[in-house]
Every structure is written in C-alpha cells, then in structure tokens.
Amino acid sequence: MDSFCEAAAMYVELDTLRNQLTRGDLEASQAIREARKCIPGSLPLLPDIYAVHRDSKNHALACLAFQTILSFESHAIPFLLQLLQSSSSVERCDAISLLVGRCQSVSHLMTGYLHSRSAVLPDFGEHLPVVLSRLANATIDTVREVRVRAAIALDDLHATPIDVVSILVDGLESHDAFVRKLASLYLGRLESIAIEALPALRKHVQSWTGVDDGTVYPLRATITAIWRIENTVQNHAPKWPIGRD
C-alpha cells in the first residue's frame, strides 16, 4: 500500500508541475527547477519541459529548460531519438544539440577559433549505435541546417563523416548566420582536411556587406578558418595567441 501511495503522490505532483509549466514564465521556471530535483522520477515531464524550451520567448527560461533536459542524461535519449524523427526541422536540430549536449566544442567569440574536441563524451550506453546511426542519417536530411548540425555533432563525438567538408561548405550558403558561423568554425578545425573548402570560404568573406547585421562573428570565423587551413597546408606551425585547449 505504501508503494501505491507513493506512486499516486508522484503522479499528482507531476500533474501539478505539468500544469505549472503552462502558467507563465515564473511558474514554469519553478516547475522546471522542481522537476530537476527528482530526476529520473520527473522523466514523464520531459516533453513538456522541451516545449518550454522550444516555445518560450524568455531566453533565460528557454536556457533553463535546455540545461534541465541535459541533466536527464541517458534517461533523455529515447525521447531525443524520437524528437530527431520530428517533421519539424527546428525540433530535429534541437534533438541533435541535446544529444551532443555538454561535449559540444567551445569557440572563442572574438577570434572565431574552435577549440579541440572534448575528451569527455556523453554516456549513451546501449544507445550509442542507434545515436550514431540516426545522426549519420541526419547528414542527408532534406534541410541544410539539420545536415550541418548532424555533421558537426558527429565530429564532436569523434565520428566525423567522410563527406563533412561538402556538408559544411553547403552550410556556408545558409540563410541562418549562426549556421554559417558553425560551418566556418568546424571547417577551420579540420585544417588541411578542408583544403577544398578554401574557395567557398574566400567567397564567403568577399560577399560580406560590411554592415553590422549579426554577420560579423561568422565573418571572423571564416577568416580564422582560412588562416588555419592555409597555415597547415603550408606546413607552418600556427602561432595563435590564445592557443588550443
């Protein structure tokens, strides 16, 4: 009877938190923090927490929801794999970002230099083959942005796809400045492997309008990518002031 009562109490609490998630930013934030305290018991709330991340106009709240989903770690993988099959390209991109999670590479904002891959990878457990397979399938998605995110996710997971350069070069044509920045960052880290990307990278620099419309950071990443590729091709050891990790 005690276990039944505990289960019933948990069900009532989850239902209360689920309702709170739809009642405005303050209550949603409180509900997410409460859900975070009782992982994995709060796993049924995962779709609702993701909906907050996807739909909230409050950046801080959306980030809180994102970080909370990461906190579910391997418990969230089945949900994220299902999300990766969504008809929405936005949701597919989110699924990729959440699967890679905290092992995503870090870049230097001002210089556009992407640091080394993380040595600590997510614990996918028995899901690893499925995760890698689904990400590989996503590299041939019909949507360019999904293809780019899948390719860089695999690169961060030390499973770089063979056609990564062509996928990232195509990403330079994206209408999304952030995706163009990602493409440049990862091409730069590939260094001499990405030599065939140099014409596209130079074209990207030449096409910049000079207007501060949010494209300055992608431009810096592109210039840095060209610098890194040319230096390694010429067999000169790069001397970068901020160094690698």
* pLDDT for the residue numbered 235: 64
pLDDT at 104: 80
pLDDT at 133 over 80: yes
Rg (CA), the chain: 20
Nearest 5°: phi and psi at 114?
A: -90, 125
| Percent of the chain at pLDDT exceeding 70 | 87
Give domain status of residue 87, yes or no: no
Domain assignment present for 19 = yes
Whether the per-residue pLDDT at 210 is higher than 80: the answer is: no
* pLDDT tens-digit readout, 160-209: 999 999 999 999 999 998 899 999 999 999 999 999 999 999 999 998 77
Between helix 198-206 and helix 216-233 the angle, nearest 10°, is: 150
- pTM for the predicted model, two decimal places: 0.86
Q: Is 4 part of a structural domain of the chain?
A: yes
Q: Give the model's confidence band at 211: pLDDT under 50 very low, under 70 low, under 90 confident, else very high.
A: low
**Tell me, what's the pLDDT at 234?**
76
The answer to whether residue 217 is domain-embedded is: no
pLDDT range class, residue 120, cuts 50, 70, 90:
confident
Residue 239 or residue 134, greater confidence? 134
Task: Kindly state whether residue 11 falls inside one of the protein's structural domains.
Answer: yes
Give the chain's mean pLDDT: 87
The H or E element spanning position 226 is helix 216-233
pLDDT band at 217 (very low <50, low <70, confident <90, very high): confident
The answer to whether position 22 is within a domain reads yes
Highest mean pLDDT among 95-109, 129-143, 194-208, 219-233: 129-143
The DSSP annotation for 132-160 comes to HHHHHHHTT-SSHHHHHHHHHHHHHTT--
Residue 2 has pLDDT above 90, yes or no: no
How far apart CA 104 and CA 202 sit, in angstroms, is 26
Residue 178 CA, distance from chain mean position: 11
Considering the domain boundaries, does residue 79 fall inside one?
no
Q: Quick count: other Cβ atoms within 10 Å of Cβ 25?
A: 14
Q: Residues of the chain with pLDDT > 90: what percent?
A: 69
- 170 by Cβ neighbours in 10 Å (0-12 / 13-18 / 19+) ranks as middle
Domain containing residue 23: 1-71
Indicate the helix (H) or strand (E) that contains 10.
helix 2-20
Q: Return the number of other C-beta atoms located less than 10 Å from residue 108's C-beta.
A: 16
Residue 132, exposed/middle/buried by CB under 10 A (0-12, 13-18, 19+)?
A: middle
Q: State both tokens at 100.
A: 């890679």
Residue 23 class from Cβ within 10 Å (0-12 exposed, 13-18 middle, 19+ buried)? exposed
More confident residue, 105 or 89: 89
Question: How many domains is the chain built from?
Answer: 1
Reduce the DSSP state of residue 114 to 3 states and report it. Answer: strand
Question: Is 32 within a domain?
Answer: yes
38 is written with which tokens?
Answer: 């009782």
